[in-house]
């Protein structure tokens, strides 16, 4: 298994959410959160963590989001809107960071 860089480990420890301050409760069902799900995955996972695109979820809801493209896209749209508002960025600025427009 690949070791994490210290930069990535620090970023993971400092994750926060644009959607809630309570990272211990699942944002979908209210159960105890077991995971912090980065809304934008893959190459944008670190950007998700950096810009607050993280939601606390229980294992069941985490699987529900990752297995359901429609629900995942709903969260990506919601997150893009929230980031653009919070950081006062344009669609072009968002696309420059995340390489895609989800709206």
Q: Tell me the pLDDT tens digit for each residue of 28-38.
A: 999 999 999 99
Considering the domain boundaries, does residue 5 fall inside one? no
Residue of 101, 102, 83, 103 lying closest to 92 (CA atoms): 101
Task: Give me the number of domains the chain comprises.
Answer: 1
Considering the domain boundaries, does residue 103 fall inside one? no
**Average pLDDT of span 83-102:** 95
Query: So what's the pLDDT on residue 12?
Result: 79
- Domain hosting 67: range is 11-98
Give the number of C-alpha atoms closer than 13 A to the C-alpha of residue 51, restricted to the C-beta side.
Answer: 24
List the single range of 4-8, 13-17, 41-45 with lowest mean pLDDT. 4-8
Considering the domain boundaries, does residue 94 fall inside one? yes
Considering the domain boundaries, does residue 2 fall inside one? no
Considering the domain boundaries, does residue 27 fall inside one? yes
Higher-scoring residue by pLDDT: 78, 8: 78
Considering the domain boundaries, does residue 69 fall inside one? yes
Query: So what's the pLDDT on residue 1?
Result: 46
Query: So what's the pLDDT on residue 3?
Result: 63
Say yes or no to pLDDT of 69 above 90.
Answer: yes
Considering the domain boundaries, does residue 15 fall inside one? yes
Say yes or no to pLDDT of 56 above 80.
Answer: yes
């Amino acid at each position: 298994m690949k070791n994490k860089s210290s930069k990535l480990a620090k970023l993971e420890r400092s994750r926060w959410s644009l959607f809630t301050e309570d990272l211990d409760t699942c944002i979908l069902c209210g159960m105890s959160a077991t995971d912090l799900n980065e809304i934008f995955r893959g190459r944008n996972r670190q950007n998700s963590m950096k810009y607050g695109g993280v939601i606390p979820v229980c294992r069941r809801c985490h699987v529900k989001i990752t297995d359901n493209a429609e629900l995942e896209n709903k969260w990506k749209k919601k997150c893009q809107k929230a980031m653009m508002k919070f950081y006062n960025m344009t669609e072009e600025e968002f696309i420059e960071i995340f390489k895609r427009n989800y709206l």
